[in-house]
Amino acid sequence: MTEVVATNQTIVVVGGGISGMTAALEAAECGKQVILLEKNPSLGGRVSQLYKYFPKLCFPTCGMEINLRRIKANRNLKVFTMAEVSGVSGQSGDYTLDVTLSPRYVNENCTACGKCSEAVSSEFPNEFNYGLNQRKGAYLPFNMAYPQRYVIDPKLIGTPDADKAKAACPTNAIDLEMTDQKIQLKAGAIIWATGWQPFDAAKIQPYGYGRIPNVITSVEFERMADRMGPTGGKLLRADGKEAKDIAFIQCAGSRDNNYLKHCSRICCMATLKQTTFVREKLGENGKATVYYIDIRAIDRFEDFYQKVQADKNVSFIKSKVANITLDKETNSPILNGNNLEQSGTGQDMRYANRHDLVVLAVGMQPSIDFSKFGLKINEEGFIDADSSNGGMFGAGCASDALDVNRAVQNATASALRAVQIINQVAGAEG
Ligand SMILES: Cc1cc2nc3c(=O)[nH]c(=O)nc-3n(C[C@H](O)[C@H](O)[C@H](O)COP(=O)(O)OP(=O)(O)OC[C@H]3O[C@@H](n4cnc5c(N)ncnc54)[C@H](O)[C@@H]3O)c2cc1C
């Protein structure tokens, strides 16, 4: 049974992405006791699945590394992975959380040697790469995963592969008897940093995602561009050939009454960044076309937009793509629509453009339904900054679709609000 000491002076942070890590660290570095709960086997959230950051085009791994070092060094902060909150009761200064800890089947003895993975043969879709490739049934979620500890997929339990993994482990780290554990945690304040999930592109029927080959999403493209990703950093079509002429469709499912009404604000910048991946990988042979309603690149991002616009291999077509059809001969997608910039010019506005690969810039939506935890949410489902939420605060993309810079600022503000609650509790208790 896991022993956890938590009191009404503890801050619980739910979600271990960049925002949750930031909020937890800021509060712990103020001297507060903090528990960080992450549902996945490792920390990092969706940032760890990005290839490079806009606008600097640096790797997210640097910032992540610094945060991990701070986490390891801080004794006020306790991290639980594979931990999910199922219920919350109480009020500001006195909450109780019901938490389920799922079994990893691998204990602290693990040295991440990888022998268990070598021993098993079963494979499953790799969730870290959005299912673009397979991973073993015994696996390390990704290279930089924290904790650096393998995971046995629950589907392996009871199969000969589970026994093979156990037999191969030189440090006796595999415990196939592990089960779910239910624990209760006390907390004075709760920070929800559960982040975002990509809008389900399959719902946008006219774009044929999942039906038409070579139509993928922006989050998948991010993994494809990564050297550590499913294609080793190559931009590949379903037939294994290199994609040289790549189209990006903006607002795929966003700003649309049929799907997501809101603008995620990030997608334009993410696409501008991804056009630079095309050029980085393919040089002069790489061509990117962006189909857009309007480009939202504010403040300092405007410079980045201008830099991309100046690239002769990147073109922009002002149009909401009506639908995608398949060129059966080449298995390439054809984008159909009207080019609004040709309106009034006397030229035919209609186009039917064939590309090697199409990337749908899907919107960001909250990853959980916060209303079931008694939180006030806005029309899009993100946590409202409302006094009725008491000692519970949203951080990062749990509170809005934000870029990393803004998510981190927002998380720091939430940590401060939580620290204020704990100071009030401590003051009242003398
Ligand atoms: C295609 C694309 C490219 C992008 N590129 C950039 C970029 O270049 N630069 C930039 O600044 N921003 C970029 N972003 C935005 C960036 O991804 C977000 O700003 C960032 O992920 C926000 O971090 P977060 O911690 O708030 O959320 P997340 O990264 O979503 O982390 C949330 C964490 O909470 C965990 N969690 C969820 N539910 C639960 C639960 N019930 N219990 C416990 N844990 C839970 C999740 O597993 C996850 O670890 C991009 C976005 C998209 C869509």
Give residue-wise pLDDT tens across range 74-95: 999 999 999 999 999 999 999 9
Domain boundaries, the chain: 10-101+180-195+367-429, 115-168, 199-362
* Residue 403 burial (CB count, 10 A): 16
> Token match 């806009």: residue?
54
pTM of the model: 0.97
Tell me how far apart the alpha carbons of residues 232 and 124 are, in angstroms, rounded to a whole number. 19
10-101+180-195+367-429 and 199-362 have identical folds = yes
> How large is the greatest C-alpha to C-alpha distance in the chain, in angstroms?
79
Question: Does any ligand 1 atom lie closer than 6 A to the CB of residue 265?
Answer: no
The predicted-structure confidence for 346-394, as pLDDT tens digits, reads as follows: 888 999 999 999 999 999 999 999 999 999 999 999 999 999 999 999 9
Residue 191 · residue 107 · CB < 8 Å: no
Single-letter amino acid, residue 429: E
Is the four-CA dihedral 364, 369, 375, 376 of positive or negative sign? positive
Q: pLDDT digits over 303-347, tens only?
A: 999 999 999 999 999 999 999 999 999 999 999 999 998 888 888
pLDDT at 5 (0 to 100): 78
Q: 315-331 in b/e burial notation, b at 16+ Cβ within 10 A?
A: ebbbbbbeebebeeeee
Q: Which of 212, 192, 159, 409 is nearest to 323 (CA)?
A: 212
In angstroms, what is the span from residue 166 Cα to ligand 1's centroid? 34
- Residues 6 or more apart whose CB falls under 8 angstroms from that of 81 comprise 16, 38, 40, 41, 42, 43, 104, 147
Ligand 1 pocket test, pick from 266, 277, 304, 400 with the greatest ligand atom count within 8 Å of Cβ, gives: 266
In this structure, which amino acid lies at residue 71? I
Whether 40 lines ligand 1, by a CB cut-off of 6 Å, is: yes
Q: Ligand 1: does its nearest atom lie under 6 Å from the Cβ of 53?
A: yes
Is the domain covering 199-362 a CATH 3.30.70.1070 domain? no
Quick check: 96 pLDDT over 90?
yes
Domain 10-101+180-195+367-429 has CATH 3.30.1860.10: no
* Spatial CA neighbour of 81 closest among 112, 48, 40: 40
Query: What does the alpha-carbon distance between residue 202 and residue 219 come to, in Å, rounded to a whole number?
Result: 14
Ligand 1 binding pocket mutation candidate from 53, 84, 194 (most atoms within 8 A of CB): 194
The residue whose CA is least distant from atom 13 of ligand 1 is 403
Judge if the beta carbon of residue 101 lies within 6 A of ligand 1. Answer: no
